[in-house]
Structure 1
Amino acid sequence: MPALQPPPDPEHEALEWFARLRQPGCDERLRQAFALWCQDPLNARAYAALEAYWQQLQVPAPRPRPRAVKVRRSRVGLMLGVLFLLLLALLAWLYWPTLQRLGSELHTDAGERRSVRLADGSTLHLDSASAMNVDLRGRTRQMQLVQGQVYLEVMLDGRALEVQVDDTRIQVFGTRLQITRHGDHDELVVIKGKATVSQGADQRMINAGERVTFSAAHINPVEKVDIQLVDAWRSGQLKARNLPLTEVLERLAGYQGQRVWLLDEQAAHRRISADFDLDHPAQSLDKLAAEQQLRLQGVLGHWLLVR
């Protein structure tokens, strides 16, 4: 008896056709045979069901939505940020004068005095912690006092000389003068010759033996000065004659690289008349503190608390 043929299985045949059609060697002849096989409705239905199932498997799974992260501002973090900014401000205030001084063309360290002879024959005597910029190339010689104190011996060579102190301009017509920068004002003393101080339309003429103080806001009236006391610092002496206590403390502490913090407001108005040794500022400060009944306390090597 002939062998019995198994009945056709459309689903199994559909799976075979599905695999054969995706082989690299699939050609037009095979596709025509597949079309002939699909003429049977059962076959076509089986292949459609297999194709639909395959499409469901190919649909990518939906990506999980990222959860919104709520940033909570911590008080501790905020306080740390504020402290960090305060620390940066403190360091900038503390070290900016030193950085500014080191960035100048001519400068001295705390406690150092230095004399420099320029190319035009002029001589600059720089006091402790002082800084200057000099430009002698133009028709007008330009100088800028950045910090501290300078004594100028000017060589006259037919060109004008100007010294800039922030927005104040000093025109030099003499041969010897001294310019000083204090905490809240600046000062010009003419020892020989003349000079003018200008701020916009405001101007003062200063003759030999006179001094004038000025700030960013105005120029004060011209006063007489004792020339013998002006440049005593060049020989290491501070000859104070009716000077404010604050100014004397600042000069002595500056020779140690310290800033003064005077806690006694009444003491700030005292006037001092005495001689001090700038080459030994610590001993001079102790002497002044004993005479004025003050207490001195150094802080981190940068401040000098005065009570």
Structure 2
Amino acid sequence: MNEHAPERGVDQAAWWVARLDAPDCKASERAAFEDWLAQSPLHVEAWVRADAIHAAAAQLADDDLLRAAARKARREGRDAFAKRPGLRTWGWAAAASLAVVAGMLAWRLLPTPPTPEQRYATAVGEQRTIGLADGTTLLLDTGSAVTVRLGQGQREVDVDAGRVQLAVGDDPRPFLVRAGTTTIRDIGTTFQVCREGGATRVGLVDGAVIVSAPLPTGKVEQVRLSPGEQVAVQADAGFAPVEALDIAVAEGWTQGELVFKEHRLDALLAEANRYSTTKLTLADPTLAEITVSGVFRAGNQDALVSALERGWGLHARRIGPDEISLHR
């Protein structure tokens, strides 16, 4: 923690927003900010609110009333803290300004009514793009379902099943995504969440997110992702190590394509079967270990079968109206 920062969480968040925006902010201070952020989910929420207020205040720079209030707060902040030896009073003044701006923005944002809880879902083989009132865009993959709540003070999305990509709109309210016991706190970003059974996988395309989940011991663990990273969370085992996210693979399904790079055949078929009522199965379990690379159209099982026959020497046999079995 920076030695000049205040002690209360809300004040700390406002101080950090001001300090990180300063031209002379040092790498050591940014590292200290990362440490402070990881100490508690409450720090994350406080910082998200303060940063959103800071951004919203910038958008209202031409508001005479807001400018006057901010000037008054900065002046009073400098006077109040000038007697504290060793403190960088401009940071305290900026924090005081943010506090005043927060109150005014809360009043300005008050007329925006919350929206009723809404649920969206897709059928097998269907993808759906949903634009929310706050500017957020959701892209639901096949067989997926989400529940959305845009409240007065917070925006929430529950991933009930399947996979969704979220491009979060610019809005002062905090944005939280829940998938089972896993919570993702957005800090202005585009990311994907996949929920299957008791496992949740989060992949970050752009921006920053903090993923938190309870451990079997009851302690809450947090992982901060950078662009191009992903992490898996098991409900009964906690976090797996952070891995690299292949952006081409991650963005493939959003364009209706399945991108595979050295995938086991059984995993490839499991993914392809999500997009079609016609299921592909293996007649011989040893075929599962065959590795496949390629780009295939989601839902086009016939094209996938043809490619596997030509490129990997497999033979397809239809054994029912909704099943195709692959043989050597």
Given the two structures, how large is their TM-score scaled by the length of structure 1?
Answer: 0.59
Residue 154 of structure 2 is aligned to residue 140 of structure 1 = yes
Query: Number of aligned pairs?
Result: 203
Gapped runs of 5+ residues in structure 1? Answer: 1-103
Map of 1:287 onto structure 2: 307
Residue 224 of structure 2 is aligned to residue 210 of structure 1 = no
Alignment CA distance shift 1:115-1:243 (3 Å): same
SS in 2 for 1:105: strand
Alpha-carbon separation, structure 1, partners of 2:154 and 2:249? 31
Contact 2:204 2:229 survives alignment (8 Å): yes
Q: Which amino acid aligns with 1:272?
A: V
Map of 2:243 onto structure 1: 223
Alpha-carbon separation, structure 1, partners of 2:199 and 2:221? 16
SS in 2 for 1:120: coil
Alpha-carbon separation, structure 1, partners of 2:201 and 2:298? 20
| 1:82-124 C-alpha deviation (Å, 9 max, x unpaired) | xxxxxxxxxxxxxxxxxxxxxx810112111111100111001
Map of 1:163 onto structure 2: 177
Deviation (angstroms), 1:239: 1.1
Alpha-carbon separation, structure 2, partners of 1:240 and 1:284? 12
Q: Which amino acid aligns with 2:233?
A: F
Alpha-carbon separation, structure 2, partners of 1:184 and 1:265? 25
Equivalent in 169, 189, 206 of residue 175 of structure 1: 189
SS in 2 for 1:257: coil
Map of 1:238 onto structure 2: 258
Contact 1:210 1:222 survives alignment (8 Å): yes
| 1:145-170 C-alpha deviation (Å, 9 max, x unpaired) | 12221111101211211111122222
Map of 2:138 onto structure 1: 124
Equivalent in 148, 151, 154 of residue 165 of structure 2: 151
Residue 122 of structure 2 is aligned to residue 108 of structure 1 = yes
After superposition, the CA RMSD in angstroms is 2.6
Q: Which amino acid aligns with 1:253?
A: N
Equivalent in 204, 207, 212 of residue 193 of structure 1: 207
Contact 2:211 2:222 survives alignment (8 Å): yes
SS in 2 for 1:119: coil
Alpha-carbon separation, structure 1, partners of 2:121 and 2:277? 14
Given the two structures, how large is their TM-score scaled by the length of structure 2?
Answer: 0.55
Deviation (angstroms), 1:208: 0.8
Alignment CA distance shift 1:159-1:207 (3 Å): same
Contact 1:249 1:285 survives alignment (8 Å): no
Contact 2:269 2:281 survives alignment (8 Å): no
Percentage of pairs with the same residue: 28
Deviation (angstroms), 1:179: 1.4
Alpha-carbon separation, structure 2, partners of 1:234 and 1:156? 22
| 1:200-243 C-alpha deviation (Å, 9 max, x unpaired) | 12222111111112222221111112323311122221111123
Alignment CA distance shift 1:268-1:120 (3 Å): same
Deviation (angstroms), 1:262: 4.8
SS in 2 for 1:148: strand
Alignment CA distance shift 1:265-1:279 (3 Å): closer
Alignment CA distance shift 1:296-1:236 (3 Å): farther
